[in-house]
Amino acid sequence: MTERSTLAGGATLAITGSGGSGAVTAGLILLAAVGRAGYYGLLGRSAGPQIRGGESAAMLRFGPQPIECMGGRFDLLVGLDWENVARFADELPLDRTSLVLTDAQAGPIPEILVRSGAQVRSMPWKALADAQSEGRMNMVALGMVGAMLGLPLDALEAGARATLGDKGGRVLTSSLDCIRSGYSATDAAPVPPSALAPPVARWNISGNEAAGLGAVRGGVRFVAAYPITPASEVLEWLAPRLELLGGSLLQAEDELASINMIIGSSFGGVPSLTATSGPGLSLMVEGLGLAVASETPVVVVNVQRGGPSTGIPTKSEQSDLNIALHGLHGDAPHLVLAALGIRDCVYTVEWAVGLAEHLQTVAIVLSDQMLGQSRAIVDPPGDLPFGAVQHTPLQRLIGTDADPDHRRYRPTPDGVSPMALPGLPGGMYTAEGLEHGPGGAPSSRAIDHAEQLDKRLHKLTGFDYGHGWAEIRGEGDHLLLTWGSSAGPVFEAAERLRGSGTPTRAIALRLLAPLQRDALLEAIGAAGSILVVEQNQTAQCFAYLHSQRALPAHARSYARPGPLPLRPAEIMRALIGSHTREET
């Protein structure tokens, strides 16, 4: 078949169906299978607001290079049924070269898809499924698609075992039968077993799992949190695993409680973290100010979703930068970081924990629904590649008997004072949200206020953050500047521009506050055209960089809100202004 030659080097495909059709399960198996076949992959999912049921789509892109974003179009659309698919048809761009696979028994293809001009082919999935005991269409379709994509059957079977293993023997057995049935029903030649096995065992991980792993790698052993979409998976991953590490997770009554609980546990000496999304972060802001003022280290992983208010809980947006940077009242310096990809969630959260502990302050890490709820096949993240330069490892300065001066908030050259932990005789102090003198006693004197404000600011601005503040790729007179999860499409856009003769550099900011202005200006250099790319309406990062005098006057902004993901082609168009053909 022709699909083999066009798709086997990598492809972008979507599987859609109504609730219960198994579209997402099929996607999870396919991701696990392409990983075992030696590809990198990225699996996003789109779901409606229903608690259970409703429409859903799994979107998979795979290929021989690490996949950091969805492409601009889909090669293949696998329609298990067409119920409600129109609700997210705009997330599934098709064109004349796309192929739609469905079973004619699933009913007529929606007009919105037909208009794309994609080729449509009907497959006998239902008949094949009915021929199996407890056969399911999604598994038949999965087997057939796997064969068309050139995947070895054993990779599909291993993917199914890994994904369905805990559902019990009968479900797995019938699924495997259906996969084999679909696989052999194509006229594609079978692929030798594990023909493409990767040289090193790669990982299959979601951004929310990666954030949880980064937390425990950074030393977090206590988490208090309140459930919220799309952050709950961070907590669900952590709860049982913290216990294995000797720590614990407390489900709080609300986010006001969870932030204050982790301030309490951190005061007790245990590195602590919470995870939430926009509405929860809004509730936590007063507590964050307390952690800043009392110099108690805490980390908040904020998995952004569409806002404001309840917004779009199940869809992605980068619109919480303003609250993360500016939400606290008073002069309240703190750290703001953003994960640049699924794999980078491990690094960024691990680094954030180390920095918060070392600098005795608040770190807010911005992830988002796109990163958090997508899974990817990635190279195993090794040791943190960008620790601080002078301070390795990053850890809290704990007070000891040997300290000549136990005053908790006494000024020091780097602004960090030893923090006595409860249990240390002679170290007693009262942590304060009131302004205080060096010993912690409340004070409204101007001299104390100035001294403590300066201490809390300079310990952050005077620290050497090393090279982790940004990821920089490529050289060129054109510059794409971005932050957080938009790094994926920006890096791809820059690479494609370089490949087509437009030298383009890409800078993705991981550390947003304190802004490493000098390093950023040096990295920007004399770029002739500069575009700041982000997924929000009001160009929050662009405005912030200007406020910090970190952008040349000729820099432009490309900002648009979610929920549709930023795509490389629109970024290329926005940078160079010409028409660029959308390619995966």
Partner 1 sequence: MDTAIVTPTLRAKDYKSEVAPVWCPGCGHFAVLSAVTKALAHLKLPKERVAMISGIGCSSRLPAYVDAYGFHGIHGRALPLASGLKAARPDLTVIVAGGDGDGFSIGGNHFLHACRRNMDLTYIVMDNEVYGMTKGQASPTTQPDWAKSKLTPHGTGMRPFLPTAIALAAGASFIARGFAGDPNGLTKLLVEAIEHPGFAFLQVLSPCQTFRPEQKEWKHLVHPSDMAPTDDPVEAARFIQADDGMALGLFYVRRLPVWQPQHQPTATPADLEREFVL
Give the footprint of partner 1 on this chain (CB under 8 A).
32, 35-36, 162, 198, 201-205, 209, 213, 216-217, 221-222, 224, 241-248, 250, 252-254, 256-270, 272, 286-287, 289-290, 294, 377, 380, 422-434, 440-442
Find the shortest distance in angstroms from Cβ 126 to partner 1: 32
Residues 121 and 482: their CA atoms lie apart, in Å, by 40
CA 60 from centroid of its chain's CA atoms:
16
Token match 């005061």: residue? 267
Find the shortest distance in angstroms from Cβ 430 to partner 1: 3
Residue number with CB closer to partner 1 (32 or 506): 32
Token match 């958090």: residue? 372
Residue number with CB closer to partner 1 (64 or 528): 64
- Bridge partners of 338, per DSSP, are 366
Find the shortest distance in angstroms from Cβ 154 to partner 1: 13
| The dihedral formed by the CA atoms of 135, 139, 143 and 149, expressed in degrees to the nearest 10 | 160
Residue number with CB closer to partner 1 (183 or 267): 267
Residue number with CB closer to partner 1 (382 or 577): 382
Residue number with CB closer to partner 1 (383 or 464): 383
Residues 6+ away with beta carbon under 8 Å from 235 = 212, 223, 225, 227, 249, 251, 275
Residues 471 and 468: their CA atoms lie apart, in Å, by 7
Residue number with CB closer to partner 1 (161 or 467): 161
Find the shortest distance in angstroms from Cβ 96 to partner 1: 35
At 25, list the tokens.
Answer: 């399960």
Residues 562 and 307: their CA atoms lie apart, in Å, by 9
Residue number with CB closer to partner 1 (84 or 265): 265
**CB atoms inside a 10 Å sphere around CB 417:** 22
Residues 156 and 32: their CA atoms lie apart, in Å, by 8
CB-CB contact of 273 with 300 (8 Å): yes
Residues 6+ away with beta carbon under 8 Å from 488 = 68, 69, 340, 341
Residue number with CB closer to partner 1 (51 or 244): 244
Q: Where are the alpha helices (DSSP H) in 110-168?
A: 111-114, 125-130, 137-148, 153-164
Find the shortest distance in angstroms from Cβ 34 to partner 1: 10
Find the shortest distance in angstroms from Cβ 453 to partner 1: 19
Find the shortest distance in angstroms from Cβ 403 to partner 1: 14
Find the shortest distance in angstroms from Cβ 237 to partner 1: 9
